């Protein structure tokens, strides 16, 4: 069983429990974003590198130079929006 942590959230973020007892977070005036929804729309540097047949370090360089926008996870890892990757593929 997991560990329960009590954290304070900014006012614009709400925390609710769904019918299955899972915790969901939402930002005011936005739909509830579940962890599975967030994961299905982002890619890791390795996944992007496979799509372009390049090294993951090259993908990190693209992010650093602004060629490919990235998101940072709370742990500091890069993630790339699927839409941004597809746009770059179609250039």
Q: What is the CATH number of the domain that holds 75?
A: 1.10.1660.10
Q: Is 2 contained in some domain? A: no
* Domain assignment present for 59: yes
**Domain presence at residue 78:** yes
Please report whether residue 25 resides in a domain: no
Q: What is the pLDDT of residue 74?
A: 86
pTM to 2 decimal places: 0.56
Q: Is there a domain that residue 17 lies in?
A: no
Per-residue pLDDT of the chain (91 residues; tens, 9 = 90+): 445 545 555 555 566 677 777 766 555 554 455 555 555 688 999 999 999 999 999 999 999 999 999 988 888 899 998 888 988 988 8
Whether 7 is covered by a domain: the verdict is no
* Domain count within the chain: 1
How far is Cα 70 from Cα 83, in angstroms, rounded to an integer? 11
pLDDT of residue 83: 86
- What distance in Å separates the CA atoms of residue 71 and residue 73, rounded to the nearest whole number? 7
d(CA 4, CA 75): 19
Give the domain range for residue 57: 42-89
For residue 8, is it within any domain?
no
Burial class (CB in 10 A: 0-12, 13-18, 19+), 34: middle
């Amino acid at each position: 069983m997991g560990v329960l942590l009590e954290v304070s959230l900014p006012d614009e973020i709400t925390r609710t429990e769904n019918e299955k007892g899972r915790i969901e977070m939402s930002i005011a005036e936005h739909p509830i974003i579940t962890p599975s929804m967030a994961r299905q729309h982002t890619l890791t540097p390795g996944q992007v590198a496979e799509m372009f047949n390049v090294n993951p370090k090259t993908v990190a360089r693209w992010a650093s130079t602004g060629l490919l926008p990235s998101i940072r996870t709370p742990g500091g890892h890069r993630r790339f929006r699927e839409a941004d990757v597809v746009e770059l593929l179609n250039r």
